[in-house]
Amino acid sequence: MIISFASLPSNVTELKALPEASLKEPEYGAALFVAAMMRYKDDPAAAISMLEFLKGPGGVSEYEKQFIKDRLSDGKEYVVRSYFAGTSPENDYTPSMPYTVIPEKDAASEDNGRIRVFMRSSGADSQRMIKMRLKASTGEWFIEEEMILSDIRIPRSQDAWA
């Protein structure tokens, strides 16, 4: 599934106004996670507020908040940018416009209201996973676990060996 954003949300109100905020497909939450985390550098509280919405009844734990802070500090916001089309280590993970992500659900992984959605980072050799959980009463898919903020190849501008 290809999901594009003309602009990225800066707060939870803007996030909820996007069509993907219906969360009716598991890929929607995965794509919105990337969009929300793009806000982290400039406004961590707004990014976490958006993540609270995307996590649904599960909420965001203190551990998750600290994990995100650790992964996206010290100039590593390029990790999030790497999930957008047009990025590469060579262009310092600069996305093309509109912001486009291509989440792929693993239909074979669907089990008991849970499914894995894979995302491709232009700085990693293998896809990364977000586990989504269905809230049966509403038909919405919420993030249960994300594994897409792991380290990737550094941007060329930060590579002393480039």
User: Model confidence over 8-39: pLDDT tens digits?
Assistant: 999 999 999 999 999 999 999 999 999 999 99
Domain span including residue 90: 3-155
Does residue 14 sit within a domain? yes
At 84 the pLDDT is 98
Q: Are 15 and 53 in contact (CB under 8 A)?
A: yes
The reported pLDDT for the residue numbered 22 is: 98
> Is 12 contained in some domain?
yes
Q: Is residue 162 part of a domain?
A: no
Q: What is the pLDDT of residue 121?
A: 97
**Total number of domains constituting the chain:** 1
User: Within a domain: residue 10?
Assistant: yes
On whether residue 35 sits in a domain, the answer given is: yes
52 occurs within a structural domain: yes
Give the number of residues written for the chain.
162
Residue 129 is predicted with a pLDDT of 97
| Residue 51 belongs to a domain | yes
| Cβ–Cβ < 8 Å for 84, 103 | no
Of 81-90, 116-125, 153-162, minimum mean pLDDT range: 153-162
- Quick check: is 118 in a domain? yes
